[in-house]
Structure 1
Amino acid sequence: MNNEKVYSMNFSKIYPLLVSKAQKKGRTLEEVTQVITWLTGYTAEEIEKAAVQP
């Protein structure tokens, strides 16, 4: 099992997992984006750009 730390992972690897987990709990993509913007200070566009980068 790979014990890679979350803080050393690429955001593009974590983002789909966050969205999937939130949707399973009845949340929307917009709510996930809102929380991430609140926590990080990034705009929705910056999050989207970071989520698709390899």
Structure 2
Amino acid sequence: MIDYTYRKTSKSVPALQRQSPPERCEMNLLPTIVAIVMAVLVAIFILRRGGG
């Protein structure tokens, strides 16, 4: 079962990378940056709230 799932994903991942244009990489990077910024802001807010 696990071996079948691994084979399925390993086959589909390169196919997706070939189909998607280079712009998709930048589009996928944006939510990651936003998530990191939000996490930093939340961490600062919690630290300031805890310290104050």
TM-score by length of 1: 0.30
- Relative to its length, the structure with more helix (as a share) is 2
Which structure has more relative contact order (CA 8 Å, sep 6+)? It is: 1
TM-score by length of 2: 0.31
